[in-house]
Structure formats: C-alpha cells, structure tokens
Structure 1
Amino acid sequence: MLALTLTGLKLRNPLMLAAGIMGTTGGSLKRVAEGGAGAVVTKSIGKEPRRGHSNPSMIEVDSGYLNAMGLPNPSYRDFQGEIERAREAGVPVIASIFGGSTEEFLEIAGALRADAFELNLSCPHACGYGAEIGTRPDLVEEIARAVKSTARSPVWVKLTPNVTDIKSIGLAAQRGGADAVVAINTVRGMAIDIESGYPILGNRFGGLSGRAIKPVAIRCVYDLYEALDIPVIGVGGISDWRDAIEFIMAGARAVEIGSAVGNNINIFSDISSCMREFLVEKEWTLNDIYGMAHEL
C-alpha cells in the first residue's frame, strides 16, 4: 500500500531519513533503514575533510533546533565504504554531496557510487557552500546539468527556503535536468544569551529545523508542485504521521524526516503503520492523496 517508485528507485514506503541526522556512518544509516525507513540520505559529503564550526553548534529552541554544524565530514575519499555498509539493509542509499564549485560537485559525484545524489545547494551556515550557491538560479542550473551529465544515478537538488521565490530555484534545477527537488533545508535563524548579550551558537547564526518550520515547508512544497514537472520531496518539521500525510497532500511524492529521529529512532515504522491505518480507513491510496490539496 505504501510502496512507490521515485526517480526510478523502488521504496517500500515514502519515508526517508533526511541528510545530517545519523548519516555519518554506514552503521547508523543501516540502523535507520532496518527501523523502517524507505530510503536513507547520508550526511553531506564534500571534497576535503571538514571539522565544522566551533561549539555550541546545536541548541534546542521553542518547537525546534538551531544548528550551525558547518558541514563537518570525512571527505568523499573515505566514505564509499559507509555507503556500502548502509546498503546491506536493502534500501536505496542517497549520497548528499556539497561543493564550492561545479568542478567539486563533478569530482565527488564521479567518484561516489550511490543510488541517487542529493545536491546540497541549501545549507545556510557554511561560507562558500550551500545556500550561497543555491540562491542563484544560474548556478543551480549549471551544477544540476553538470552532475546529471556524468552521474550514473538520479540527481536530486535540495532547495533553500531563504529566497524570495523558491519556484524560480526549482525551475532552474529542472532546466538543469534534475530528476527531483527536495524542499526544504533549514531556515536561517539565531539565538542570543540575554545574560551575556552574546549569540549562543559558535557561528552566531544557524539553521532552524523541527516543527517550527513545517508550515514554511508545506507552502514551499505546494508552490513547487504547481510549478514543476519533476517530483518534489518534502522535508521540514515532520514529527508524526499526520505531518507526512499533509506533505503528500501538498504535493510531495515522498518525505524526509530529520530532527524527530533524535527523539524516536522508531519513527519510520510508527509513521508508516499509522499511515496504512489512515489510508485503509479512508479507502484511499497514496496516489489518491498525492497533491489532493490542489484539487479544491
């Protein structure tokens, strides 16, 4: 009932692990997959090893988290073994990759073997990467086209919400040949310690995730569904099965779950079970509810 095919990948359900959560090792990715996820996305991997920003790099705020990790990673040269370990669970493994130029994206995508690539063009707190590139439609189109021309796997582009018009960025990814877009990454934010007057995060500002950003993500998915011909993958604030259903009704073909995994490692099996019960009760299928909010 929940199985689907997404950009040529067979998923047992539309629930995926989002990049950045338990995605640094093959063992943790495998654990999430064995816990019910339909697919898993790795931590964003770059050309060179990065330690990331100084601590504090993550704090809890009302209805979510602020993080400024700074894209810490071991580099793609040491990561293929982790992808292979994760594949032992039998679900698609998507490699999230980032770079500071088209050439870096090409180098990484050409070296890694994954079931799909998610291009991180949306991280809001790493100088020279992510959203600094992903806010420019010309660069988004250029990078998507370059990676698509050489990658042996589907290419997804993860979009930033920190723009005036996310549809223009999505259309640029589509023109570049992307097979899907992922919406959204975190929303820029910060917190200040009123006792000292200093910003709390070591990087001063970071990205807001968790329940607080779900309405923003829903609207972005809704707009992209109407503008694009390629699938939209929804992410941002999903904490229970109702959230997942809402995203699919807004136009998401599948969804990714991030922050909520930290509170419940079994969230994928819990949500899929409740989704099945809901669909049976309503006598609906996934296709019936896909984009349903646009039919009114």
Structure 2
Amino acid sequence: MPLLATVAGVTGLSIGSFLNVVVWRVPRGVSIVRPASACPGCGAEIRARDNVPVLSWLMLGRRCRDCRTPISARYPMVEALTALAFVLVALFFAPAIVQAETAAGVVGASLELVAFLVLAAVSIALSAIDVELRRLPNSIVLTAFIAGVVLLVPAVILLGRPELLISAVVGGAGSFAFYLLLALIGRGGMGMGDVKLAGVLGFYLGALGWAQLAVGVGAAFAVGAIAGAITLIVRRSLADRSLPFGPWMFLGAWIGIVGGESIAAAYLRFVGLG
C-alpha cells in the first residue's frame, strides 16, 4: 500500500499539472496541446525546470521567473488536490484488484479503478472551472461520460455483476431527467451544464450500486443547501451570492461512492427497515 500510494501521488501531481492547462484553456477555446505553456503576463514559455508540480511554484516565490508576475495559488492547489485524490481513490479501489480470484476479476477491478481516477481528475478540473467561470464545458463532461462507458461497462461484466448495467443506465438517465426538470422549473437556478453532469455522475454512481446512487444524488443537494445557506449569511451583496452547483454535485457523488453502502444501511436501520 505505501508503494501504491506513492505511485498514485506522483501520477496525480503530473495529472494535476496537466489539469491546470485544461482549466485555463478549454473554457477559452484554446488547444491543450499547442502552444507550450507560457506566462500570461509576459508570454515567456515555461521552462522545464519551472514546471515541476508544486515545488516550482514555491521555489520561484510564487512569481514568473522573467517578469515577476504573481502566479495564482490555484496551480499548486490543483496539483496537490489531484495527488491527494489519486492516492485516496487508489487506496479505496485497489484492494478489489488484490482480492480478485480470477484474471477477469483483476482486469475488471483495474478498469474500475482507472474509471474513478478519471472521474477524480474531471471532478477537480470542472470544479475549478465552475468556481471561476460558472461553466461546465461540454467537452470535459462528454469525455468523462465516454470514459465511464468504455471502462465501467466491461468492468462490471468482468467482475460478474452485469446487473449493475441496469442501475448505471437508470442512474444516468434518471439523474439527467431529474436535473432537467429542475432546470426547466427553476428559472435559471440550474444550468444545462449541471443537467449533463448529473447524467454522467448518475451513470458512475449506478455502476457501483443503488445505494451509492441514492446517497450520491441526495448528498449533492444536502451539501449544496448547506453551502448556499452559508453563502447567504456570509456575503452581504445579493449580486455576490451566486453559487456554482458543480462542485457540490461532485462532493455529493464522492460521498456516495465512498460511503454510499454504509450510509444507506445506517439509514435503513434508523427507520427500522435494516
């Protein structure tokens, strides 16, 4: 496990550096491949030695080497959060690979791990974009959906749980329809980006089971309501009270992924059905 955590962390740092490119360029319609990363202040290309995740930001004193323009703390935060997320996701899903008794089970569990690593990266990238720009770009949402289908459909079959395909499809379609209804009756309170993301998250949650799906969808509204209440209290200006819902959808989904079964079981025991 220490070796796994180390590999996942280093990989997460590298992916986090790439996500910073995605967060800046995708909403602005710029290619994520070309041109090379450059300082937004002076346009100087970022040197290889200045592109080490987190460490370079600290060693440069949080400023561009050439023009001394301040570098946003978002860059090391995204890198560090991605590293942490990859470690936690790997530790949560990797035991299923070790415990698998067949080659098909090993492959299935490995595909499941990769799928949720992709979701972790997407969670961080889209949350950062939504907080900054109140947008959830279609290209990233679609990429997450395609990755989920390509990885999770064979995963559940190889793991011997094809019934999860039903909960995955129902979760994706049901979540999409539910959020679409909220968008139509909410008069701008819910955007179409949220609707599309709901379908993707519903698919991922449903691929784990009904309990994860129910808890994940419910938790998004619970944490979103709490965050909204805090925002109303803290912020005095009505114009400054808008709240992106994407990050709370992701947080709710991850609560469902990690604790869905135990939370659902505890609730059923509480109401006398467990």
More strand by share: 1
TM-score w.r.t. structure 1 length?
0.27
TM-score w.r.t. structure 2 length?
0.28
More helix by share: 2
Q: Which has the larger radius of gyration?
A: 2
Greater relative CO, 1 or 2 (CA 8 Å, sep 6+): 1
